[in-house]
Chain A
Amino acid sequence: MSAGTTATASARARVLWRSPEARRLAAWVFGGLVLALMTGPSGSQAAPVAGFTGSLFHPRVLVFVALGVALWALSFVRARYGERVRETSVHLTRLPARLVRTRRARYGVYLVVLVFAVVYPPTLSGFWQEVLVDQIGVFVLLAIGLNVVVGYAGLLDLGYIAFYAIGAYSGAYWTGALPVHPPFHLNPFFVIPFAIAAAMVAGVILGAPTLRLRGDYLAIVTLGFGEIIQIAATNLQGVTGGAEGVTGVPHFSVHALGVHYAWTLSNLPYYYLLLGFVVLVLFGFRALEDSRVGRAFTAVREDEVAAEAVGINVLKYKVMAFAIGASTSGFAGLLEVSKIGFVTSQDFTVQLSILVLVLVIFGGMGSLPGAVAGAAFLQWVPQILRQHPLFGYQPQDLYIYLGALLVVMMIFRPEGMLPSRRRKRELALAEQGIGTADAMSGSADPAAGVAP
């Protein structure tokens, strides 16, 4: 009797297990547990299983199990109602765009954002002001620079932070903070052209030979370049201060026309300085977008062979886009180093290059408002979550969450937060099988790499 009921129960369990949804749920929950283990405390020799027990026999495991279930539910909803969800979300996200259809309305929105960016920060706490400068402001500048490379010209640059490093070391060098001394010391303001020029020259030297090759090679070369710069900076201790770094990079200051003002470690003045520069750069890039050069970037990104056929010097414009991005990165490096007064080779990791790329993709490739919004949002949210009692993640795990967020974004909104019109059209056409949504060039004809 009892043997029979057990048999049917186990048969039922087997049937349930065979259902793909149940298996998928199990997989998601398992993934959640792995994540709990990975993000939990680690064990030690004295308490070898502490990492295990601390992660799995702790209330926080519930959060991760719930996360697994939630993601499963999400994938389930997507499989069942994906089309509908997508349609509504597209509809909803189009709403703001519809409200600000005219150019004038759009500029009105920008103006409101700018006014907000001017009057709101003074009301913030010191912590958030620091986030605003070091995490958001600098990264907004980095993102709009990389947007020129990746978004406009379609070049995959994985060593973007190398140019940031070059800008930072230029700042430290010309202000006399490095072990090697410059012929004359400069105020950071006067270092700006030197830092930009140094990063730009590095960009041209690196870009000119590699941009002849197809897109994938550029990614590999820039990745290598980023590593080389960081390792060189670490090992050339006598020149750069290495991993320990150097201190004493002076702040910005103005002594002209009877005005004497010096920036200090305090955040707000730096914030406004940065805001001014960002707005300036934004205006410049906006003009670039509509210019002849901007159109050449678009043509090169869409089809190199066609661009060549209409008489565009493809290599020249690729190098130009690459160098514009590099110099923006260098500029950001100078601003940051002079603000914190300190530079170490440990800051220039490949993760940082990837992070900036994520900001651009998340915001919407090729879109200036997207790059700004993406950078601001993605740099702000982790700070909020870090403070959150339930989600107080460990800083080194940040990238896991950013990665997950990006995956979700790419599934539900591949064009990014505030996409450019062009990018939206590309994705729409790609769905009909026309052209490629592949934003990176390198899809050019295979002969291009062989031609002498």
Chain B
Amino acid sequence: MTALLELSDVEVRYGAVRALRGVSLEVRQGEIVAVLGSNGAGKTTTLRTVSGLLRPVGGQVRFEGRRIDGTPPHRIVGGGISHVPEGRRIFAQMSVLENLEMGAFQRRGSTADELELVYGLFPVLKERRRQAGGTLSGGEQQMLAIGRALMSRPRLLLLDEPSMGLAPMVVARIFTILADIKRTGTTLLLVEQNAAQALAVADRGYVLETGEVVMSGSAADLAGDDRIRAAYLGEALT
């Protein structure tokens, strides 16, 4: 089976800074894949490269078998990849409904079905649909950011640290919903520092360190690995 998304030997630079030094990873249809790593490891850079915001200087990015590196971001969204950016980046001054409609910018025509889907996953967004996005709580904003990304009916959803700055209970709720989204047939590539939560929902995972993949495997294997437990799960080595 070919991968839905495949990065092979991707290298990305910010000027002289080599942020990704030959990253290879793949995401198969229907999976949740987690990319773990500490600050500055290159997680955000990886997602921004997939969504076309950055252009790799080396390597390839393939989506459904076609090369997408160098494709402009709006084409990539149209092509079936949605990005929930780091720090949510909702339109603070637009209402919840306007935010969601913005998410369907690439889809002309009625958005009723997509709205129903998103409201089904996040009932709170329906309640708050007239409220300005910026006045939502952090957790609601994260839900809005995910909902907005779903409005374009992506086949692959990229999530950049959805747990950032949220209380453990809210994080747990969001991760439950991520599992629900997976059940609707959407594939997820998830970037996280919260390794425990991420590995709990993910099928497989990669560990990124200073722009390189240093470990990969099934979520269960990674969660059981001593080094992971020490570095990311905050457990002392025994």
Q: Does A227 contact B (CB under 8 A)?
A: no
Q: Does A450 contact B (CB under 8 A)?
A: yes
Q: Does B74 contact A (CB under 8 A)?
A: yes
Size bracket, chain A contacts: 20 to 34
Contact of A296 with B74 in the complex, beta carbons under 8 Å: no
Q: Does A426 contact B (CB under 8 A)?
A: yes
A296 in contact with B105 given A306-B90, A308-B73 (CB within 8 Å)? yes
Question: Chain A CB within 10 Å — which of B15, B55, B57, B132 has the most?
Answer: B132
Contact of B135 with A311 in the complex, beta carbons under 8 Å: no
Bound-state Cα–Cα, A426 to B98, Å: 14
Q: Which residues of A contact B101 (CB under 8 A)?
A: 295
Contact of B91 among A303, A308, A447, A452 (CB under 8 A): A303
Contact of A429 with B92 in the complex, beta carbons under 8 Å: yes
A310 in contact with B77 given A295-B102, A429-B134 (CB within 8 Å)? yes
Q: Does B121 contact A (CB under 8 A)?
A: no
Question: Chain B CB within 10 Å — which of A296, A303, A426 has the most?
Answer: A303
Q: Which residues of B contact A429 (CB under 8 A)?
A: 92-93, 132, 134-135
Q: Does A86 contact B (CB under 8 A)?
A: no
How near does chain A come to B106, taking the closest CB pair, in angstroms? 4
Contact of B106 with A311 in the complex, beta carbons under 8 Å: yes
Bound-state Cα–Cα, A302 to B92, Å: 8
Q: Does A309 contact B (CB under 8 A)?
A: yes
Which residues 292-330 of A sit at the B interface, judged by CB distance below 8 A? 292, 295-296, 298-299, 302-303, 305-313
Q: Does A181 contact B (CB under 8 A)?
A: no
Contact of A435 with B53 in the complex, beta carbons under 8 Å: no
Q: Does B72 contact A (CB under 8 A)?
A: yes
A310 in contact with B134 given A422-B93, A450-B14 (CB within 8 Å)? no
Contact of A309 with B85 in the complex, beta carbons under 8 Å: yes
Q: Does B201 contact A (CB under 8 A)?
A: no
Contact of A312 with B74 in the complex, beta carbons under 8 Å: yes
Contact of B73 with A299 in the complex, beta carbons under 8 Å: no
How near does chain B come to A312, taking the closest CB pair, in angstroms? 6
Closest B residue, CB atoms, query A316: B74
Contact of A295 with B105 in the complex, beta carbons under 8 Å: yes
Q: Does A113 contact B (CB under 8 A)?
A: no
A451 in contact with B102 given A308-B74, A435-B93 (CB within 8 Å)? no
Contact of A312 with B105 in the complex, beta carbons under 8 Å: yes
Contact of A302 with B94 in the complex, beta carbons under 8 Å: yes
Q: Does B152 contact A (CB under 8 A)?
A: yes
Q: Which residues of A contact B148 (CB under 8 A)?
A: 310
Q: Does B43 contact A (CB under 8 A)?
A: no
Q: Does A47 contact B (CB under 8 A)?
A: no
Q: Which residues of A contact B222 (CB under 8 A)?
A: none
Contact of A434 with B85 in the complex, beta carbons under 8 Å: no
Q: Which residues of A contact B48 (CB under 8 A)?
A: 451
Q: Does B138 contact A (CB under 8 A)?
A: no
Q: Which residues of B contact A313 (CB under 8 A)?
A: 72, 74
Contact of B103 among A310, A425, A452 (CB under 8 A): A310
Contact of A435 among B51, B78, B134, B152 (CB under 8 A): B134
Q: Does B18 contact A (CB under 8 A)?
A: no
Q: Which residues of B contact A307 (CB under 8 A)?
A: 102
Q: Which residues of A contact B134 (CB under 8 A)?
A: 429, 434-435
Contact of B85 among A295, A306, A312 (CB under 8 A): A306
Bound-state Cα–Cα, A296 to B51, Å: 19
A276-299 interface bits toward B, Cβ cutoff 8 Å, 1 = contact, 0 = none: 000000000000000010011011
Contact of A434 with B152 in the complex, beta carbons under 8 Å: no
Bound-state Cα–Cα, A308 to B103, Å: 10
Contact of B83 with A450 in the complex, beta carbons under 8 Å: no
Question: Chain A CB within 10 Å — which of B54, B91, B101 has the most?
Answer: B91
Q: Which residues of B contact A450 (CB under 8 A)?
A: 14-15
Bound-state Cα–Cα, A312 to B132, Å: 21
Q: Which residues of A contact B173 (CB under 8 A)?
A: none
Q: Which residues of B contact A303 (CB under 8 A)?
A: 89, 91-92
Contact of B152 with A310 in the complex, beta carbons under 8 Å: yes
Bound-state Cα–Cα, A140 to B152, Å: 39
How near does chain A come to B46, taking the closest CB pair, in angstroms? 14
Q: Which residues of A contact B13 (CB under 8 A)?
A: 452
Contact of A306 among B15, B72, B89, B135 (CB under 8 A): B89
Which residues 378-422 of A sit at the B interface, judged by CB distance below 8 A? 422
Question: Chain A CB within 10 Å — which of B53, B102, B105 has the most?
Answer: B102
Bound-state Cα–Cα, A307 to B76, Å: 13
How near does chain A come to B164, taking the closest CB pair, in angstroms? 15
Q: Which residues of A contact B90 (CB under 8 A)?
A: 306
Q: Does B36 contact A (CB under 8 A)?
A: no
Closest B residue, CB atoms, query A428: B132
Q: Which residues of B contact A310 (CB under 8 A)?
A: 77, 102-103, 105-106, 148-149, 151-152
Contact of A308 among B15, B53, B93 (CB under 8 A): B53
Contact of B135 with A434 in the complex, beta carbons under 8 Å: yes
A452 in contact with B135 given A292-B105, A311-B105, A312-B105 (CB within 8 Å)? no
A299 in contact with B91 given A310-B102, A312-B105, A429-B135 (CB within 8 Å)? yes
A309 in contact with B93 given A295-B105, A429-B132, A450-B14 (CB within 8 Å)? no
A425 in contact with B105 given A308-B73, A309-B83, A310-B77 (CB within 8 Å)? no
Selected A-B contacts with CB under 8 Å, 29 pairs: A292-B108, A295-B101, A295-B102, A296-B105, A299-B91, A299-B94, A302-B91, A302-B93, A303-B91, A309-B82, A309-B84, A310-B103, A310-B106, A311-B76, A311-B78, A313-B72, A422-B93, A429-B93, A429-B132, A429-B135, A432-B135, A434-B92, A434-B93, A434-B134, A450-B14, A451-B48, A451-B54, A452-B13, A452-B55
Using a CB–CB cutoff of 8 Å, the interface residues on chain B facing chain A are 13-15, 48, 51, 53-55, 57, 72-74, 76-78, 82-85, 89-94, 101-103, 105-106, 108, 132, 134-135, 148-149, 151-152
Given contacts A310-B149, A312-B105, 12 further A-B contacts (CB under 8 A): A306-B90, A306-B102, A309-B77, A309-B83, A309-B85, A310-B106, A429-B92, A447-B14, A450-B15, A451-B48, A452-B13, A452-B57
Which 5 A-B pairs give the minimum distances between C-beta atoms?
A: A311-B77, A434-B134, A435-B92, A306-B89, A311-B106
